[in-house]
Amino acid sequence: MPDDVADVFAGARIQRSLKTRLPSEARQRAAQIDADIEQQFAEARRRKGACITLVSTAGWTWKDWSQVVEWLKALWLWQDQSARLRKATRAHFSADGSQVPLPLDDTVLRENINLKKRLQRFTPSQYASDRSAVLNAALSAISVTVPLAEPSRSDFHGYVPQG
């Protein structure tokens, strides 16, 4: 359930039966249910005054998703650089870099170690679920949402940047 409309719906999640065992029929029904649910979310946002027009991703290919991935990588690199520059002091830009102490904040180190441990315990689907809120928040800037039933969704969430 998206955070921005969670208060409008009765439960913490929406679950529907596809009423079929045939994979091809299940994909088709899941896509329709996903579209209906996304429409309900959009209507709830309109009622709350947060009108967002989402870009339809139906029929997107891996090339389309790859372009979104490239945009996300650039966005997250920019956000990381901005956060690091906010913490930088004049000493970080001195000609003699050896006099700049390494920022070894105990709290930051502990958070990073705990995050690494948590990530190592995740399966790919658990990771995708955990990161979907962050992913959808970033994608909302370009009016794109990753549909639950999109055939490319598992490939998209399973994407691991190289390098």
Tell me the pLDDT tens digit for each residue of 28-47.
888 888 888 888 888 887 78
Q: What percent of the chain has pLDDT over 70?
A: 72
pTM: 0.41
pLDDT of residue 160: 44
Q: What confidence tier does 104 reach under pLDDT thresholds 50, 70, 90?
A: low
Q: Which of 28-37, 54-63, 86-95 is most confident?
A: 28-37
Q: Are 50 and 159 in contact (CB under 8 A)?
A: no
pLDDT at 141 over 80: no
pLDDT of residue 159: 47
Domain positions in the chain: 1-53, 60-163
Q: What confidence tier does 143 reach under pLDDT thresholds 50, 70, 90?
A: confident
Distance CA 134, CA 122 (A): 16
For residues 92 and 31, the model is more confident at 31
